[in-house]
Amino acid sequence: MQLVCLDLEGVLVPEIWIEFAERTGIPELRRTTREEPDYDKLMKYRLDLLKQHKLGLPDIQKVISEMGPEPGAKDFLDALRQDFQVIILSDTFYEFAMPLMQQLGMPTLFCHKLEANAEGFLVNYHLRMANQKKEAVQRFKEINFKVIAAGDSYNDTAMLKEAHAGILFRAPDNVIAEFPQFPVEREYSGLMAQIRAASART
């Protein structure tokens, strides 16, 4: 029995924080897990910036409501789900992701939660658990799934290592250079081919 685990941002949808940075004119918010491997440090940095600029959850949700999946992502996901069970493992938040999940046909998503105050300003974030991508893959393996995983950032690499087969998709050069053991793909057709090849081996 085989299971495909995918990252969300950078793989199926654009990077939400980068879109928000461009629309608000705050370049510091472009920083993501592609540049900062320490997720806690990154999120505290983001929350501080939002507080400085007096921006809250409704401001971010407005940007997300105007976004859509990456071109070709829904067709890729629809085709993948015909032959594999698929779970999206993401370090985004349910408050961000659900409008995008609707556009992708509501695939299963495991991610985290945000905490906002009465005025809508973000005051904290709550991880479902630490290292949730790697931990999820470990549990899937324990219940006898063969896991194929794909992602693009530092926070995906533990998941890729833990899986029976890991693939980097549209990863930046710094991540590719640090993790040369993973095949690299840029197009959905190539990612599908890599998944099918890994399926035949596992």
Query: How many C-beta atoms lie closer than 10 Å to residue 75's C-beta?
Result: 11
Name residue 134's amino acid: K
Task: Please say if 9 is a catalytic residue.
Answer: yes
**All residues at 6 or more sequence positions from 155 whose CB lies less than 8 Å from its CB, including other chains:** 33, 37, 39, 91, 133
Whether 173 is a known active-site residue: answer no
* Catalytic residue of the set 7, 95, 152, 156: 7
β-pairing, 122-126 vs 108-116, is antiparallel
Pairing between β-strand 165-169 and β-strand 2-6 as defined by DSSP bridges: unpaired
Q: Which has the closest alpha carbon to 157: 145, 169, 146?
A: 169
DSSP 28: G
Calpha distance 128→132 (Å, rounded): 7
Which residues carry out catalysis? 7, 9
